[in-house]
Amino acid sequence: MRYSRPRGTRDFLPGEMALRRAVEQKMRSVFIRYGYTEVATPTFEHLELITAKSGEEILAHLYHFKDKGGRDLALRPELTAPVMRLYVNQLQNSPKPLRLYYFGNCFRYERPQAGRYREFWQAGVELIGPASPEAQAEVIALAEAVLRELGLRNYELHIGSVGVLRKFLAERGVAEEEQCRIMGIIDKGDRELLEEELLKLGLSQEERSTIAGVLELTGGRDAVLSKARELLGERRAALEELLSLEEILDALESFGVKYSLNLGIARGLDYYTGMVFEIYAPKLGAEKQICGGGSYSLAETFGGKPVATSGFAFGFDRIMLALQKDGVELRGDEGVQVMVIPFGEEYLPKAVEIASALRRSLACELEVMRRRVKRALSYASSKGVPFVVLVGEETARGRVLLKHMRSGEQREVEIDRLEELLLEEAGV
């Protein structure tokens, strides 16, 4: 009986994995250059950690279960909450700022579609400690720097603030729980439902119109900020949030990052408190978002002291799709660089010795199928191996045959110089 993989999951073949690892390595290199260090968390967490800030409604989208001890657990649907749990438990007293980055698989029970899977990968960062405008601006600049390093050309960076509307609602007496629900509706883009819910909360026609007007504001910085101030009028707390956003944008100028100001961004997670941003790859169509982040508050939810935090996460699978759609040439690991083939069993010990020596610096495959040389060469050719070392009677003179597979050229070389010659010809 043949078994199929679970719905919403994928198998990655060697060529695909080589490309994914190459992209991952480029992302890591940028994170490291910005001073971030890597952390990793368990694939599953206590269910209450996941629902603490997102509420019980998230259960429909989780893979959750009881273990043999009766504990409620869930496969992680994202990585910010686990990383902040790690911070509270083990890093809370560390010197600030803390710059942490991560790569990991996540799980959500959703309808699979292009660019959306039930098992998917995230890559992201969390900057813990500083609340300054320049710190938040640097987080945005880091996300953009990653895309430039990868060579992605067609993307759009949109920056907004959930703080403006949260403070607007708070001034009107709307509780935080209700604010989170309203933000979730805004994130889904359901304007009709939003109008209904705001009406239930007792907001006047003018207040509902103000919110609708703010959500429509997108474009250049000066025009959006000017119109937002006009709409908000005398609502001081909301205007203070708008000023905080403006200070972040001022700091961002030094980084040379191009963006659109978009006050309609809400983000789907309840823990965002102020600045938020999203990055879109338009060529991906409906599922175009490849990155999302902002400033948030989570440490106190998990029993820690309040601490300013900002970060973002890339949807790694969508990044891969965006690069392909954009025509970016991806190059993975070169694979096997040389294959060592003995002419017969009597030469196998020497072939093992030579292969072991070459593996200190080269990707080397040893012929272990006991095929005749012709068939082994055919195999090497089918795999695109550029060089073959043939081990035979020449070893008595301290030499082997080195074959260049692309040109067909073959010559005797000294065993002592073999590694040096291969490194030179392979351009390593």
Burial of residue 396 (CB within 10 Å: 0-12, 13-18, 19+) is: exposed
According to DSSP, the β-strands at 98-107 and 119-129 are antiparallel
Looking at 3.30.930.10, 2.40.50.180, 3.40.50.800, 1.10.3720.10, the CATH number of the domain 338-426 comes to 3.40.50.800
What pLDDT sits at residue 284?
A: 92
What pLDDT sits at residue 318?
A: 94
Cβ atoms of 295 and 273 within 8 Å: the answer is yes
Cβ atoms of 111 and 155 within 8 Å: the answer is no
Question: What count of other Cβ atoms lies within 10 Å of the Cβ of residue 82?
Answer: 24
Q: Would you say the pTM of this structure is higher than 0.75?
A: yes
Kindly report, residue by residue over 163-175, the tens digit of the pLDDT: 898 888 888 887 8
Residue 98: which residues within 8 A CB-CB, separation 6 or more? 87, 91, 126, 127, 128, 129
Kindly list the strands in the beta sheet with 44-46, ordered across the sheet, starting from the edge strand earlier in the chain: 44-46, 72-75, 64-66
What pLDDT sits at residue 189?
A: 77
What pLDDT sits at residue 56?
A: 66
Residue 46: what residue type?
H
CATH 3.30.470.20 matches 14-325: no
Joined together, the tokens standing for residue 100 give: 């942490």
Residue 158: strand pairing partners? 260, 278
Rounded alpha-carbon distances, angstroms, from residue 247 to 52, 134, 136, 255, 257: 31, 8, 10, 14, 15
**What's the rounded Cα separation, in Å, for the pair 282 and 266?**
19
User: What is the residue-wise DSSP string for 134-199?
Assistant: HHHHHHHHHHHHHHHHHT--S-EEEEEEHHHHHHHHHHTT--HHHHHHHHHHHHHT-HHHHHHHHH
What pLDDT sits at residue 367?
A: 96
Burial code (b: 16+ CB inside 10 Å, e: under 16) for 314-325 equals bbbbbbbbbbee
* Packing angle, helices 205-215 and 191-200, rounded to 10: 150
Phi, psi of 190 (to 5 degrees): -90, 85
Q: What is the rounded end-to-end Cα distance, in angstroms, of the chain?
A: 46
Rounded alpha-carbon distances, angstroms, from residue 48 to 88, 126, 233, 345: 15, 21, 41, 61
Q: Domain coordinates of the chain in residue numbers?
A: 14-325, 338-426
Residue pLDDT tens, the chain, 428 long: 899 999 999 999 999 999 999 999 999 999 999 999 999 999 999 999 998 876 667 888 999 999 999 999 999 999 999 999 999 999 999 999 999 999 999 999 988 877 789 999 999 999 999 999 999 999 999 999 999 999 999 999 999 998 898 888 888 887 877 887 888 788 777 788 888 888 888 888 888 888 888 889 999 999 999 999 999 888 888 899 999 999 999 999 999 999 999 998 887 667 888 999 999 999 998 889 999 999 998 999 999 999 999 999 999 999 999 999 999 988 887 789 999 999 999 999 999 999 999 999 999 999 999 999 999 999 999 999 999 999 999 999 999 999 999 999 999 999 999 999 999 887 65
Joined together, the tokens standing for residue 9 give: 């999951």
Phi, psi of 277 (to 5 degrees): -150, 155
Residue whose pair of structure tokens reads 């272990």 in the numeric block = 368
What pLDDT sits at residue 269?
A: 66
What pLDDT sits at residue 111?
A: 87
Cβ atoms of 277 and 292 within 8 Å: the answer is yes
The HSE-up count of residue 421 (CA atoms within 13 Å, CB side) is 18
What pLDDT sits at residue 63?
A: 95
**What's the rounded Cα separation, in Å, for the pair 93 and 213?**
43
Q: Is 185 left (phi over 0), alpha (psi -120 to 50) or beta?
A: alpha
Burial code (b: 16+ CB inside 10 Å, e: under 16) for 122-153 equals bbbbbbbbbeebbbbbbbbbbbbbbbeebebe
